Structure 1
Amino acid sequence: MTNDEFNQFCAALPVTTHVVQWGGADVWKVGGKVFAIGGWGPKQSDGKALPAFVFKTSDLNFDFLSHQEGFRPAPYMASRGMKWIQQVDNSAEKDEALTYYLKESYRLVSLGLTKKKQRELGLNQQPTQ
């Protein structure tokens, strides 16, 4: 996934906002809370850094992804006990997994918002009958 594809995907999720901060990273939020970050990963042997994407995970997914090739605990966040993963392999075969984890991160973060904020944004509401 490219940075442009990442931004298009995150923009398509309901009530998201985008800011550029932390040294030029694309930071995506729902209800004012970060759910995804797009930026640059570790430098390659040629000195160039490829796109890398950071997202929040469940405890189980964090444990699983921490040991998968192309993923690692997110620098800074994971060292502070937060369950965030950085995908450093942006090959096309990882796109489906990345879109799943970005949606899941969005869901986890939106569920962490206050009930009042969720109602204001129209998130996680039970259908009325």
Structure 2
Amino acid sequence: MTRDELHAAALALPGAHMDVQWGDDHVYKVAGKMFAATDGAYSNLAFKATDIAFEALTLGGRAIPAPYLARAKWVKFDDLAALDADEVRGWLATSHGLVAAKLTRKDRQGLGLT
């Protein structure tokens, strides 16, 4: 997946926006809550995963538990360019959905997620 494909896929999700924080990390959020992140060079990708996906991706060796966020079931891929674009779009949509589901009803309504 390319930098532009990741950026477009993440921002196409309802209410998604991108902030630059922690130096040059690009963090994708919904209502201020992170659902994916990459470094400024877009060389890696981290996102929130379901419990089953977290286990499958980390135990299968495809990804590692994301530093500082593993307890929240985040995974990290070290090579964004090696990932299949359609697969990443699905992971981003799932991650966005997991985070959006935890928002208040008011925030979800404001984003048109109800």
Fold match by TM threshold 0.5: yes
The equivalent residue for 1:75 is 67
* Structure with greater Cα Rg: 1
**Aligned pairs (5 A) from 1:36-75:** 36-39=36-39, 51-75=43-67
Please give the alpha-carbon distance, in whole angstroms, between the structure 1 residues aligned to 2:74 and 2:107.
23
Structure 2 length normalisation: TM-score? 0.88
Please give the alpha-carbon distance, in whole angstroms, between the structure 1 residues aligned to 2:39 and 2:96.
18
C-alpha contact 1:65 1:72 (8 A) present in aligned 2: yes
The equivalent residue for 2:12 is 12
Please give the alpha-carbon distance, in whole angstroms, between the structure 2 residues aligned to 1:62 and 1:110.
18
Structure 1 residue 91: Cα displacement? 4.2
> Tell me, which stretches of 5 or more residues in structure 2 are unaligned?
none
Please give the alpha-carbon distance, in whole angstroms, between the structure 2 residues aligned to 1:114 and 1:107.
13
C-alpha contact 1:71 1:89 (8 A) present in aligned 2: no
Q: Give the total of aligned pairs.
A: 114
Change (3 A) 1:23 1:68: farther
**2:107 is aligned with 1:117:** yes
**2:99 is aligned with 1:99:** no
Q: CA RMSD in A?
A: 1.9
Please give the alpha-carbon distance, in whole angstroms, between the structure 2 residues aligned to 1:120 and 1:25.
27
Q: Which has the higher helix share?
A: 2
Q: Percent same amino acid at aligned positions?
A: 38
Determine which structure has greater relative contact order: mean sequence separation of CA pairs < 8 Å that are 6+ residues apart, divided by chain length. Answer: 2
Q: Which has the higher strand share?
A: 1
Among 55, 68, 85, the alignment partner of 2:75 is 85
Listed one character per residue, the Cα deviations across residues 84-122 of structure 1 (whole Å, up to 9, x for unaligned) are 001223345532221111110000000010111111211
C-alpha contact 2:64 2:76 (8 A) present in aligned 1: yes
Point out 4+ residue stretches in structure 1 off by more than 3 angstroms: none
Change (3 A) 1:3 1:121: same
Structure 1 residue 62: Cα displacement? 0.7
